[in-house]
Amino acid sequence: MSTTTQTPDVAPRGGVPNPLGVHALVWVGDTSPASVSEAIGQTAEAGFDLLELSLHDSVNLDVPRARAELAEAGLKVVCSRGLAFDADVSSDDLAVVERGAALLHESLEVTDGLGGSHFTGALYSALGKYGHPLTAAGRHNVVTVLRDLAKEAQAKQMTLGLEICNRYETNVINTAHDALRLADDIGEDNVSIHLDTYHMNIEEDDLVRPVYDVGSRLGYVHIGENHRGYLGSGHLDLTGFFHALADIGYTGPITFESFSSAVVAPGLSNDLAIWRNLWDDGYDLASHARTYIATGLAAAWRR
């Protein structure tokens, strides 16, 4: 199968070939107009190239206004989401699957309306702890729904990302191997792999081998510490990860992701198991992260 994908059309602001992004939940906990404006302003001020918006709260999102503000700030956008257990495309219950498929199609439209070319996340299941392994019927439903979504995305010149999440947040894909197999079964060229160092730390043997395994099919990256705090304050081998990205010639987006209940709404904080806060100043956290990532990548690319 071909591995051609579209990555967000952004020009990095200097130093490294990768557009650097930040998750909006570092700044705000919802997508109300005021919150989106704040997130856009903070993202631009901190020197990032793109903003990732979670569509868990998209009912409150003013799409035309957000698109105009992003353009004015010179930022590109990536959208992400997970599903709920009552709208889970990996369910055996077709009514539940249909609700999940509807949410995914709606989210794809929102992403397109914002001017985004990349829609990613746990698009394949609810985001939460399952009490059983994925069934054959459930996996068939995932493949069917995401194949249809990928075809719709292709018509809009958009890419889907399969974010690999840990065992406590999904039972569908937990490793790069799982994700590659699912992408192969979906069989559409615009389905890419989304690596996340926080989840990789739990499920993979190291942070390097999965990068090589995914190779040219890598379409998006989340950088987060093992405890979701300041980069470099945990035990992750981010230097090795940056070098692996450079080795495969990855020039796509790299987005910093971290959560604190000081910012994220209580319901979502609980879903993400944010039981302790490692930061309360999003701007300091994000500014530090941008410098850390840019410095690490620059060193890796200079080798």
CA-to-CA distance for 253 and 62, rounded, in angstroms? 25
Cβ distance 252 to 221 under 8 Å?
yes
Which has the closest alpha carbon to 38: 236, 283, 251, 211?
283
- Residue 215 and residue 248 in contact, taking contact as beta carbons nearer than 8 Å: yes
Whose structure tokens read 């490793």? 175
Closest CA to 56 of 90, 19, 29: 29
As annotated, the active-site residues are 163, 257
CB-neighbour burial class of residue 103 (10 A; exposed 0-12, middle 13-18, buried 19+): buried
Name the region of 294 (left: φ>0; alpha: ψ -120 to 50; beta: rest). Answer: alpha
Give me the residues paired with residue 22 across strands: 51, 256
Helix (H, G, I), strand (E, B) or coil at 85: coil
